[in-house]
Structures are given as C-alpha cells and as structure tokens.
Amino acid sequence: GFLSYDVNRCQFNSTELKDIEYIYSAYYNKLEIYRFSSSVGKFVGYTEYGVKQAKYFNDLPGEVGQWTAEKERYCQHNIGNHYSNI
C-alpha cells in the first residue's frame, strides 16, 4: 500500500510570534513532496510532482495568506502548552 500524510509543526525559541516558524509538509511514502514555510512565505516543491503542486498553490489567490495565518492560529495557541511542559 501507499502512505500519504501531512505534518504541521512549529519551530520556536521564544514565546514571541515573530520568532516562530510554521511549517506544513505533505509526504507520500515517507518522501516529502512539498512544504509551506512561514519564513519563506510560499510553497516549495521537493519532487517533480511537488514542484507542480507548489506552483499551483502559490498561484491560487489567497492560498499563501491562508497558510501564513496558520502561524498565529496553530503555533501561538500551542506556545503555552510547550513552555508549561518544560
């Protein structure tokens, strides 16, 4: 069988939103196909198919803005959880 999955993650060194990077990655059979990174500000492809997907998503009106907003919605919400567990 084939395995397809997505991963959302936040990388941060402080509680300040400006210091946080939100990353969304799409995988197929353990290979990263494409990624959105808030620090890059767009989708980037890592395979031939992923490059096409990244271009498609980057060209959609509002798509990059929606994923950029995920940094605040997804990461900022979890900052307190992370720091309270340390």
List, for residues 24-60, the tens digit of each pLDDT value. 999 999 999 999 999 999 999 999 999 999 999 999 9
Q: Compute the mean pLDDT over every residue in the chain, rounded to the nearest whole number.
A: 88
Cα torsion 47, 43, 4, 23: sign: positive
Ordered domains of the chain (ranges, CATH): 4-85 (3.10.320.10)
For residue 19, name the pLDDT band (cuts at 50, 70, 90). Answer: confident
Return the ∠ at Cα 6 (arms to 3 and 8), rounded to 5°: 155
**pLDDT (0 to 100) of residue 12:** 81
pTM above 0.75, yes or no: yes
Whether pLDDT at 83 is above 60: no
